[in-house]
DNA sequence: ACTGAAAGATCGCGCTT
DNA sequence: AAGCGCGATCTTTCAGT
């Protein structure tokens, strides 16, 4: 936490998270301040890195990416070299939307978006041919109940 | 997939995903077309729902949300009423960033962002007091290797 | 379907209180 | 720090290829 946020900063962040295409005037009106202070605050939030970027959210189904898997990965290898190769493989593959290194029994979890089960298998085969993996369990999402990157501010 | 995308649509989507704050001029130049057609395409993409929304991405650590858990949920109840209450609970809780209903052994997976382990326990206690859950396993993320909502277009 | 132009909105910033 | 206001820029529309 770089700096303390006040109530107005939080309102601004909430508005931007809800819809970043709003004009400065609209945001200013909603948070109950005028343009200049709001503009200065947004700039500060950007510069501090708290606002990392601005993007559009696409509908994966409409892009034909209808299958979502969560993949639990266990490895027997814990050397630096193996880890580097594994990480590189994950970063390079655009079907991998998230990858986390975990504490405990399971070493990694991935979120993977692909066209269908066949495409997942292609991904799986490609990955295990690149790096040795002890065990990989895929959990198939049947329904996305909730998906947000809206953080409580 | 509502409509077939051509190469220019894909380039536009890639640019918008990379940085939605770019001006129309910049995008037009990068995709090698002029403003008006780009503007018309973007509007079509919006109207079709392929572009769902525009938002800012915040840094969770800088907001003090330093703990990320993936939660595997098994339930013994499969009635509609139970499911409704569970879904409502998930949708209401802002620390739940993602929730998927799964095929197979594990019924649900959640992604939960909170301040610390204590905050996770608060969430956990609140949830199990609201709805009966057979088994819940939390996987603690040690490191976010990759996190993107950038879909391959 | 693209180009170019032009009206209107919005931004970014300096000046003032 | 907040408000005003102006020039510059960007968005959006439209007539003409």
Residues of chain A where predicted confidence (pLDDT) is lower than 50: 1
In a domain, A150, yes or no: no
Instruction: Determine the pLDDT at residue B2.
Output: 55
CATH number of the domain bearing residue A71: 3.30.70.920
**A133 shares its domain with A76:** yes
Residues B134 and B100 grouped into a single domain: yes
> Is B130 inside a domain boundary?
yes
Q: Is A71 found in the same domain as A113?
A: yes
B interface test, pick of A10, A85, A93, A100 with most B CB neighbours within 10 Å:
A100
Q: CB-based contacts of B113: which residues, under 8 Å, 6+ apart? A: A151, B60, B65, B67, B68, B95, B97
pTM of the model: 0.93
Residue B146 counted as domain residue: no
| B53 assigned to some structural domain | no
CB contact under 8 A, B94 and A150: yes
What pLDDT digit, counting tens, does each position of B5-33 carry?
999 999 999 999 999 999 999 999 999 99
Number of domains comprising chain B: 2
Domain shared by A39 and A65, yes or no = no
- Residues B41-92 have pLDDT tens digits of 999 999 999 999 999 999 999 999 999 999 999 998 889 999 999 999 999 9
B148 falls within a domain: no
DSSP labels, A53-105: EEEEEE-TGGGT--EEEEEEEE-S---HHHHHHHHHHHHH-TTEEEEEEESSS
Instruction: Give the structural domain span for A80.
Output: 61-140
What CATH number did the domain enclosing A32 receive?
A: 1.10.10.10
In a domain, A147, yes or no: no
Q: Which of residues 79-118 of B touch A (CB under 8 A)?
A: 87, 90-91, 94-104, 106, 108-109, 113
**A64 CA – C2 C1', rounded, Å:** 29
Q: Report yes or no: A146 and B98 within 8 Å, Cβ to Cβ.
A: yes
The answer to whether residues B67 and B128 belong to one domain is: yes
Same domain, yes or no: A73 and A123 = yes
Q: Are strands A51-58 and A96-102 parallel, antiparallel or unpaired?
A: unpaired
Query: Do A119 and A77 share a structural domain?
Result: yes
Cα–Cα distance for residue pair B38/A26, rounded to 1 Å:
25
Quick one: A68 and A130 in the same domain?
A: yes
- Whether B1 shows a pLDDT value over 70: the answer reads no
Contact of A93 with B148, CB cutoff 8 Å: no
Residue A69 neighbours by CB under 8 Å, 6+ apart: A110, A111, A112, A114, A120, A138, A139, A140, A141
**Same domain, yes or no, for A67 and A117?**
yes
Token digits of residue A126: 């490609």
- Domain assignment present for A41: yes
Closest CA to C5 C1' — which residue?
B36
Residues B113, B73 share a domain: yes
B153 → chain A, closest CA residue: A63
B76 vs B144 pLDDT, higher one:
B144
| pLDDT for position A2 | 53
C-alpha pair distances (Å), A56 with each of A102, B9, B31, B57, B131: 29, 14, 17, 10, 35
Q: Which of residues 35-74 of A touch strand C (CB under 7 A)?
A: 35-36, 39
Q: In this structure, is residue A35 part of a structural domain?
A: yes
Same domain, B136 and B65: yes
Query: Is any Cβ of chain A less than 8 angstroms from the Cβ of B4?
Result: no
Domain identity same for A33 and A79: no
> Among residues A106, A70, A136, which one has the least CA distance to residue B142?
A106
Q: Is B7 on the interface with A (CB under 8 A)?
A: no
């Amino acid at each position: 936490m770089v700096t303390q946020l006040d109530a107005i900063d939080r309102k601004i962040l909430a508005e931007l998270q809800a819809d970043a295409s709003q004009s400065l005037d609209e945001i200013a009106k909603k948070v109950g301040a005028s343009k200049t202070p709001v503009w200065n605050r947004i700039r500060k939030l950007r510069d501090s890195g708290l606002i990392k970027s601005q993007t559009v959210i696409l509908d994966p189904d409409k892009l034909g990416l209808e299958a979502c898997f969560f993949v639990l990965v266990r490895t027997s290898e814990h050397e630096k070299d193996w880890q580097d190769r594994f990480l590189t493989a994950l970063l390079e593959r655009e079907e991998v939307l998230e990858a986390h290194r975990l504490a405990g029994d399971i070493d990694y979890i991935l979120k993977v978006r692909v066209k269908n089960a066949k495409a997942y298998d292609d991904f799986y085969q490609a990955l295990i041919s690149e790096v040795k993996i002890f065990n990989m369990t895929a959990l198939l999402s049947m329904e996305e109940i909730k998906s947000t990157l809206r953080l409580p501010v």
